[in-house]
Amino acid sequence: NTLKTTKEKLRAILMDLDIETDYLKDQPDALVLKERANVFLTDAFKEGFFEVQDASSQLVAAFLDVKPGMRVVDTCAGAGGKTLHLASLMENKGQLIAMDLYESKLKQLKLRAKRNGAFNIEYRIIDSTKVIKKLQEKADRVLIDAPCSGLGVLKRNPDAKWKLQPEFIDNIRKVQAEVLESYSRIVKPGGKLVYATCSVLPSENQEQVKHFLTTENGKNFTFAKDVKILASESGFDGFYMALLERKA
């Protein structure tokens, strides 16, 4: 958490506790544990010096290209791992709106934000369409960390492949399309949007983005770039993220 410490200082603090870490190439804010350790019991964690998150998930905040002072909306914030990373990249400056359908998740995020010293976050429960309408064309950056099949995290949850039903994937694809259509309206002209999932299925990823760009609202956006991460190649979670830019 760069609001409170640096990677080098944190590494030294953990080393004093006999917890060894390595730097991670192309990950400016990451340390990777050499061995499993219960880092949640350390004072460094209790004081908000770091959060625990898969390396693939840590790429998303940087991909959104946020700057201090912007208005940024995390539309599917959940308990807020990516929200907190965005807050530190924004240096606590500007407005960061964390939205979710579930109040319980936003309550967790509030506790984490307090520990992290992240105080530029506002919390909004999506309890009606008005919440989205109020923000229409108001945000510089929007993150849609969409609900997905979770097929990128099979390494951690191998039993999921036996539980997933084809109809669940069909339903989740419909939800993704709706979320992309609705939440993309928050991006102001000249702003940027990241659509991300922890899935490796093209139908949840590239094909969703491709379809969105043909819709009435999607025609306002241009495709900038995307990243596909496979667990078999990276050693971390499978992941997908696409950067779209709204035409000025």
Positions marked active-site: 198
> Hey, what amino acid is at 232?
S
User: Does the CA dihedral 99-105-107-113 come out positive or negative?
Assistant: negative
Q: How far apart are CA 231 and CA 208, in angstroms?
A: 21
Structure tokens at 28: 């400016």
Burial of residue 62, with CB atoms counted within 10 A of its CB: 0-12 exposed, 13-18 middle, 19 or more buried:
middle
Q: DSSP code of 220?
A: G
Q: DSSP code of 48?
A: T
3 state SS of 224: strand
Rg of the chain taking only CA atoms, in angstroms: 18
Structure tokens at 172: 């989740």
Contact 81, 59 (CB under 8 A): no
Contact 64, 141 (CB under 8 A): yes
Q: How far apart are CA 216 and CA 5, in angstroms?
A: 45
3 state SS of 244: strand
Nearest one of 156, 149, 145 to 180, comparing CA atoms:
145
